[in-house]
Structure 1
Amino acid sequence: MGFFGGFLYDGQSWTETDRSAARALTGPWLHVDIHDSDFAALTYRPTGPGTGIAFVGYTPGVYFGMPDAGPPTDAPREAAGLAAWRAGLNPSAPDADRDTMAATLLPYLATDDPQDADEDEDRSPFVEDKVDDFLTALGLPPFRG
């Protein structure tokens, strides 16, 4: 059995918790929800141009083999949303940095294409490692401290 856990970044530090704890926050936040070491849901606010949810490893639809198991994904849109989220933590960053950040984050995000998930599996079998790499690219500390 793999790892399950939820971690919330409040703009300064990580705490182990479920996503409901984020409702009380007024500033930007990012929640990482690890499912069985196979996929992670990244929920973030504010959403910017994204929907506020992205996935690392697999999407729920690919993981469960059921396309309607989760919302459809748009990895480029979520990469832009996460880049805008990051820019909100550093408002003095130039707008061009958002495009660079979005391009950097895009390869980490899962799509609804099962072939993409198979190729991603070659990098590391544990989504926790992939999330740590993603967070480093985003300029945040790892959630496992």
Structure 2
Amino acid sequence: MGFFGAYLLDTPRSYFGDDTASAPSDVDREAGALADWWAGYHGVTDRATIAEQRAALAGILAADHDSEAEDDEIDISEEDLFVERKAARFLRLPGLSRPTDLPDE
């Protein structure tokens, strides 16, 4: 199995504005891989349930974007503003325990 990476806020490519900082993101592939891992871990075989998990994960993973093309005013929900909150959501989705020092969502 090769390297697998997924990001929560910005990808390194977007954050640094450098295409060599990381491989291009593919949120659908990343969410699918995480959903498949989750399904195997929990013994879930229902395709609809796995698809729901995949969609939920895709909703919180970061995609590459052109930081220079963005406006100064970006509409970001408060739950996505802080990495701690997004990390708590990310851990909750597959049913992983949340570290005690990580704030509640």
Aligned-pair CA distance for 1:121: 6.6
Distance 1:68 1:121 in 2: 29
Conserved 8 A contact 2:8-2:86: yes
- Report the alpha carbon displacement of residue 89 of structure 1 after superposing the two structures with TM: 0.7
Report the count of equivalent residues. Answer: 94
The structure whose RCO (Cα within 8 Å, separation 6+) is larger is 2
Helix, strand or coil at the partner of 2:7: strand
- Tell me whether 1:62 sits opposite 2:14 in the alignment: yes
Q: Which has the larger radius of gyration?
A: 2
Whole-angstrom distance in 1 between the partners of 2:80 and 2:56: 18
How many Å separate the matches in 2 of 1:123 and 1:57?
11
Alpha-carbon spacing, 1:120–1:60, altered in 2? closer, same or farther (3 Å): farther
Distance 1:125 1:79 in 2: 20
Contact 1:57 1:109 in 2 (8 A): yes
TM alignment of 1:65-84, pairs within 5 A? 65-84=17-36
User: Which TM-score applies when normalising by structure 1?
Assistant: 0.56
Q: TM-score, normalised by structure 2?
A: 0.75
Deviations 1:3-56 (A, max 9, x none): xxxxxxxxxxxxxxxxxxxxxxxxxxxxxxxxxxxxxxxxxxx78xxx621110
Moved over 4 A (4+): 118-122
Aligned identity (percent) is 33
Structure 1 unmatched ranges of 5 or more: 1-45
Q: Give the C-alpha shift of residue 92 in structure 1.
A: 4.2
Give the superposed CA RMSD: 2.3
Structure number with the higher helix fraction is: 2
Tell me if structure 1 keeps the 8 A contact 2:79–2:85: no
